[in-house]
Structures are given as structure tokens and as C-alpha cells.
Structure 1
């Protein structure tokens, strides 16, 4: 999905800061979402938890949009014209509805609930996303992964994976990236990552073994959830720093609760994010925007979209300055 804000935020993100405190129980930071209209006359609204001032990265995860359930019959659904990406991978994960994806590799894919679609932008790719004609409800998450420096100009790629469902202590788990609960995704990534949907039965508790070298974030889609000892409401994300070798998730409600667990080792490189580009400098962003506006071969052409591609917004009148995660108190 594109970040189609008319004035996208300028972000230069740094690695997390660890104060080294030997806490007996990991502290959970609660990150609230901000609502963002994606643009157009019938703007679809999303809840964005990454990036924000309190935290810009969780591992290499650098962007998290959570949307729906949205009545597509009233809003018109999703119609995102061809737009570019650089220096990142996009991860599409749906709870309800279907989205038609087309990119400059020639990929035409129908994104369905429970099916992970990962697209590698690398040096440059473009794609479009349209909700399928018979979709009445749209509901899901759109996630971005920053590529490490040595792979930031990687070739375009598209991978699809339908994870198996694993049951653990009243929870259903679908691992779409990395490993959890003895389930491993075969999808290739450029840094170690974890991405999984965890749905808990009413009043269920599950304790999962995780990699202590990872930091983690739990995004709540539905239900009232506790991560370790911290309560989380829908659209909130609970952040746990490195060091935890288990995570306990509790559903405190009488209805099922659905969450998305993200993780990875701290991303040690500074990155610049603007619009749909991830680079290492202000100059990287300027060059990518110029290439897109000039219709260069860098991004290719999306052949089947019945309309014009998205123009790039105007650049800010300032050089992008560093912005990283604040130190933990």
C-alpha cells in the first residue's frame, strides 16, 4: 500500500537505544496509533503505529498501518494507483476482504485473508492495489521492512506464503515470517524477522518462547489483551525491548482477541523515510522522487491499471535531519 498523504512526514530513523537495565520483568511501552487519511475524495483511513516519535523501528519493521473493518460498499474500498517503493519490503496481511495487486514484475495476485504477500522494492518497483469487486469489508494490516544497506538496491521480487495454523494453549498462530511456536516461514528476508497473527480464545493465556536478541511489538486488532503485565486496547501496540525469552499474552475478554506480533534484532543503521521511499540520505530521496516523476526505467510500468499513476508529493523545504528512538528512562 502507498503512503498517499499529501504532506508525508519526514523521518530519519536511528537504531534503538538500550539503557542496559537488568529488569526482572521486561517493561512494555504502549504506543497509540494516529489516524491517517490515505487521500482521495473518499479517503480510506488507517491507524498508524509505526513510525512515531516514541519509536521509529522494531527490528527492521519501519511502518505499520492497521485498517478496518471498513464497509467497502460505502467508502468505495481501496483504489491505490501505481506508486513507487525503494529500499524496503512490503508485507500485506488481510483479516477480511480481497485486494488485487499488480506490479512492474508483471505479478498479478489476489491477496486473501491468511495469505502473506511480500514485495521487495530494493532499487525500485511500482504496484497498484484495488479491492476486489465483490469485497464488502476491508480489514487488515500493511507493514514495511527496511532493507539493510548491503541489500537496499536488491532486485525486485514478489513472494507469497499461506502459513499453517498452529494451536498452542487456546491460541491459533499463523507465522508468516520467521519462526514461532515450532512453525517456520520459508519466505526470504534480508534481516532476521518475526511476523505472526495470534488469535486467542476468550480468557485464554499463552506463553511463547521468543528470541531474546529480538525486540518485539504486539499490535492489537480486536479484544482486550495483556502483554506480560500491561493492558493493551485495540489499535495499540505494546513494545518489548531485547532480553525477553518468553512473551505471555492474555485475553481478558469474553470474546476472541486477535493480534499481530512483530520482532527482529535492533536495526543498527540510520534510514530516511519519506513518502514511499526508504534511503540513507536526503539525496537518496530526492533522486528517487526525480526518477519517479521522470517515468524512468528504475520503477517500470504497471500495465493493467485503468488510470493514471500517483504523482509524488512536493519535497519539504528543508534537509532531512536525524530522528531516532528516544533513550529509555
Structure 2
């Protein structure tokens, strides 16, 4: 998914962070319209001014349940990425993915579509005609410096669920509680959907070397005894071997994300991740020249075949230097 903001912020808002007695940070989302007049709204909890990364995870958009008849669903034209992986995970609906390495795939609930941008890729995402409701998360992972210029590629995985006490766990990146995939990662990571019945409690095992984020999609949830509202993100620092999750009066759905701290500064603007202001300026210039101005369709970002429409122009760069974040 693209960041479709016309004036993408160098450092994003949403910096009200609550820290509970149990050491859980609770990060509030901010709403971002995705597209034009009938825009579908996403709730963004990462990055924020006070927290840019959770392991390699650097971007969390949460959307739906969205009535496609009202909003028009998702229609994201071809757009570029560098230095990252996109992780698409749906709860409801279906999205058609096309990219410049020739991939044409459907994103369906419970199935992972993972796109590694590396040195550069472009792709489009469109909700399918049969989709009535759209609901899911779109995630980005920042590639470490040693891997950020790998050749782009795409992969698909369908993880099997596992039972952990009263909870059902479906792990789409890494491994947790007997569920997992061999999805390609370039730093130690975990990503999982956790379903917990109303009134139930589960003790989720954690890697003590990881920092973790727990996004509440549905239900009333307490993380380590701290209430976490829907669409908010609970952050846990490294050192925890487990965390207790309790559902309230309704069934709960969570997304657990974790990883070893990246330990690197990144420059993140629009759909590019680099290590310097110059990296981003160069990527934007190549996208505009090669794709938007059609000077070299076979260049760094390639061409998305089969999409009916024009590629997405890059916004104007800010008038100040982009600063690294960590």
C-alpha cells in the first residue's frame, strides 16, 4: 500500500503516548484518508514522533471494517517503494496485487502477501469487484543496511493456525506458539494474528531480545493489566518472556508484531526508505523521470502490467532536509 498523503510528514503526528504502571506504552492512532473524495480512512499507529520502529516494523496502517459501497474500496495506482518490505494481511475482503517484477496475486483473509522492494519496485492494489467489506492491516518492514539494495521479489504464504490455551494464533512472519511461515525476512521478526474469546486470558510467549507491539483490532483488551482501546497500539520493550492478554465482554482480535531492535537510523518519506536525505531525493527523481515522465519504463522501478490507469506522481519534497529517525 502507498502512503497517499499529498503532503507526507517527515515526522508523523500522534505523539500522545501513555505509559502504564506495568511499563506498557499505549500509542494512539491518527486517521489518514487513502485516496480521493470517497476516500477510505486508515488508522496509522506507526511511525510516531516518539516511536518510529518496533524491531524492523516501521509502518502500521489499520483499516475497516470498511463499506466498499460507500467508500469505493481500495484503488491504489502504481507507486514506488525502496528499502522495505510490504506485509499485507486481511481480515475481510479481497485485494488484487500487481507489481513490476511480474507478480499478479490476490490478497485474501488469513494469507500473507509479502513484497520485498529492495533497491526498487512499483505495485498497485485494487479491491476486487466482489468485495463488499474491506478490513485488515498494511505493514512495512525497514530493511537493514546490508540488505536494503537486494533485488525486488514477491512471495505468498498461507500460515496454519495453532491453539495456545483459549487463543487461536496464526503467525504470518516468523514463528509463535507452533504457527509460522518461512517468509523471507532480513532481521529477526515475528508477526501474528491472535483471536481470543470473550472473557478469556492467554499468556503469550515473547522473545526477550525482541521489542513488541500489540495492535487491538476488535474487542475490549487488557495487556499486562492495562486497558488498550480498539485501534491503539501497546508497546512492550525488550526483556519480557511473556505477556498476559485478557479479553473483555466481546471476542478480541489482536495483531502482534515484534523484532530485535533494528539499531539503525532510517530516513522515511512517502514510500521510500533510505539512510540519507540524498537517498530519498534520488529515488523520487528517478520515479518522476523514468515512470511519470516515461523516460525509462525499464529503469529502477519497472512497469506494472495490467493496471488500467496512470501511475501515482510523487508529492513535492519538503523545503528542509529530511532527518533520520530510529
Length-normalised TM-score, structure 1: 0.93
Q: 1:185 offset after TM fit, Å? A: 1.6
Say which of 261, 274, 279 aligns to 1:266: 261
Residues 52-63 of structure 1 aligned to structure 2 (within 5 Å): 52-63=48-59
2:141 is matched with 145
Greater relative contact order, per chain length (Cα 8 Å cut-off, separation 6+)? 1
Distance 2:33 2:64 in 1: 13
- Give the aligned partner of residue 15 of structure 2: none
Q: Could you list the per-position Cα deviations for residues 7-57 of structure 1 after superposition, in whole angstroms to 9, with x for gaps in the alignment?
A: 001149xxxxxxxxxxxx951000010001123222111000000112110
CA distance in 1, matches of 2:301, 2:74: 22
Name the residue aligned to 2:302.
Answer: 300
Whether 2:42 is the aligned partner of 1:46: answer yes
2:205 aligns with: 209
Q: Secondary structure at the match of 1:262?
A: strand
User: Does 2:78 align with 1:76?
Assistant: no
For 1:187, the equivalent position in structure 2 comes to 183
Match of 2:6 in 1: 6
Runs of 4+ deviating beyond 2 Å: 321-324
Work out the CA distance in 1 between the residues paired with 2:223 and 2:153: 35
Of the three residues 215, 221, 224, the one matched with 2:217 is: 221
Instruction: Give the CA deviation at 1:323.
Output: 4.0
Question: Shift of residue 140 of structure 1?
Answer: 0.3
> So what's the TM-score if we normalise by structure 2?
0.93
Mapped partners of 1:241, 1:159: distance in 2: 30
Q: Which sections of structure 1, spanning at least 5 residues, go unmatched?
A: 13-24, 325-329
Q: What's 1:279 paired with?
A: 274
Distance 2:81 2:24 in 1: 32
Question: Number of aligned pairs?
Answer: 311
The reply to whether residue 102 of structure 1 matches residue 98 of structure 2 is: yes
SS of the residue corresponding to residue 294 of structure 1 reads helix
Q: Distance in 2 between the 1:81 and 1:116 partners?
A: 21
Tell me whether 1:318 sits opposite 2:314 in the alignment.
no
- Cα offset for 1:182? 2.4
The SS at the match of 2:70 is: helix
**Whole-Å separation in 2 of the counterparts to 1:323 and 1:118:** 24
- SS of 2:279's equivalent in the other structure is helix
* Aligned-partner Cα distance in 1 for 2:171–2:211: 17
Task: Return the alpha-carbon distance in structure 2 between the equivalents of residues 45 and 78 of structure 1.
Answer: 10
Contact 1:5 1:37 in 2 (8 A): yes
Gapped regions of structure 2 (runs ≥ 5): 13-20, 291-295
CA distance in 1, matches of 2:165, 2:86: 31
- CA distance in 1 between counterparts of 2:323 and 2:113 reads 33
Q: Give the Cα–Cα distance (whole angstroms) in 2 for the partners of residues 114 and 238 of structure 1.
A: 23
Give the superposed CA RMSD.
1.2
1:35 equivalent in structure 2: 31
